[in-house]
Amino acid sequence: MHDDEDALTFTEFALPPTITSAIGDLGFTHCTPIQGAVLPYSLSDYDITGQAQTGTGKTAAFLITILAQQIEFSPGEPRPTGAPRALVLAPTRELALQIEADARDLSRHTSTHVVAVVGGMDFDRQQKQLENRPVDILVATPGRLIDFCNRRVISLRKVEILVIDEADRMLDMGFIPDVRRIVYQTPKKRDRQTLFFSATFNDDVMNLADQWTIDPMHVVIQPEQVAVETVDQRFWHTAKADKPGTLVEFIRQKKPSHTLVFVNRRDQARHLVSHLNRQGIDCEGLAGDIPQRKRLATLNRFKEGTTNLVVATDVAGRGIHVEGISHVINYDLPEDAEDYVHRIGRTGRAGASGISISFVSEDDAFNLPAIEAFIGTGIVCTHPDL
């Protein structure tokens, strides 16, 4: 959410006072582009297909819609436990837990019961939360949700609003068969509202959107705006063998305040963290092979600023929503140009400025043309500014 003078303000939507109070508490007044484009339609019950990456404010757009609808249309009869009114599906635990935290923030002045069910965490504790009282908003990763549905702890028959977030990532991670099973357990698409978000809309993603929505309003927020306008992008010529030394030198000289370093593979994350630690530099890793509890602890330390340097892979990095990241370093250039935009979008958020530095070695250079085409601007490589 940001303060562009041309942007819509939240007061223009006649939202329930409990929601406007929570938005005010969070310090937001103006909508981000995707919020301004989605809310007029989603609040009027339209299905939405939205193309937007993480960090554009889409989470608040769908949560505000859910909360407003639930306050306005409260169900008459008492509801059974385990039968959520809204279901948000997310591909990773980190993203699901971030959505849960945002939902709690936005519903702080209501009695909304928000529950997250995600793999790799205490099953019994999640079951107690579900059985405690009727669930208003359920945020879930597909595998754990299917476990609960199979045990008949959760029924999706009462879902009024279905949100599918980061559909392209679900596709990449092989979750679509699970998502399909879940969608079939919700009411027919004519009897629910569906909000479908993806960073990209290729044929496969469009096909899913067509199956699960009815006459949706299609909203496109170009990722280049995030990439180009608020992030100072730098590209440094660095021989592959010199990358570790260049990174160490950069950290020692520039003392960046809050830095996220991206590598392409999990084993690289492990090796780089070990190398930096041996050089006397405090850092932690976030990759898929690190146990979930440890990843969450790392993420919390990074948010609180007790850890200021994290080495991550793309899957872990997609779920990182941390304000105030000053630098994103592409230790390896990603093979997918869209991942480049996702990565650098971790900084320069909410109108703040940020710096991205990409190491370009003999192994990375062939990825540059696709990135240039995707961000719509020429790339100039320079020698490291050290």
What is the rounded distance in angstroms from the CA atom of residue 35 to the CA atom of residue 346? Answer: 19
Among 20, 3, 2, which Cα is nearest to 11's?
20
Computed from CA positions of residues 249, 254, 260, 264, in that sequence, does the dihedral angle turn out positive or negative?
negative
Residue 157 pLDDT? 96
Q: If DSSP codes are grouped into helix, strand and coil, which group holds residue 286?
A: strand
Phi, psi of 40 (to 5 degrees): -60, -30
In angstroms, the CA 331 to CA 309 distance is: 13
| Alpha carbon distances (Å) from 382 to 233, 236, 334, 361 | 11, 5, 19, 12
Give the closest residue to 63 by CA, choosing from 161, 185, 176.
161
Q: What is the mean pLDDT of each run of 10 residues along the chain (386 residues)?
A: 62 94 87 92 96 82 96 86 96 91 95 94 93 96 96 96 94 91 97 94 92 95 59 93 96 92 91 95 84 80 90 73 85 86 77 85 89 84 91
- The whole-number pLDDT of residue 216 equals 96
* 90: amino acid identity, one letter: A
- C-alpha radius of gyration, the chain, whole number: 21
Q: Which residue has the tokens 């260049």?
A: 246
Q: Do domains 10-221 and 224-382 have the same CATH topology?
A: yes
The residue extents of the domains of the chain are 10-221, 224-382
Q: Read off the amino acid at residue 51.
A: Q
- Count CA within 13 A, CB hemisphere, residue 355: 11
Would you state the pLDDT for residue 2?
44
**Residue 322: other Cβ atoms inside 10 A:** 18
Nearby residues of 3 by Cβ (< 8 Å), 6 or more positions away? 29, 30, 351
CATH code for the domain defined by 10-221 = 3.40.50.300
Residue with the two structure tokens 């793999």:
119
CATH superfamily, region 224-382: P-loop containing nucleotide triphosphate hydrolases (3.40.50.300)
Cα 264 to chain centroid, rounded: 19
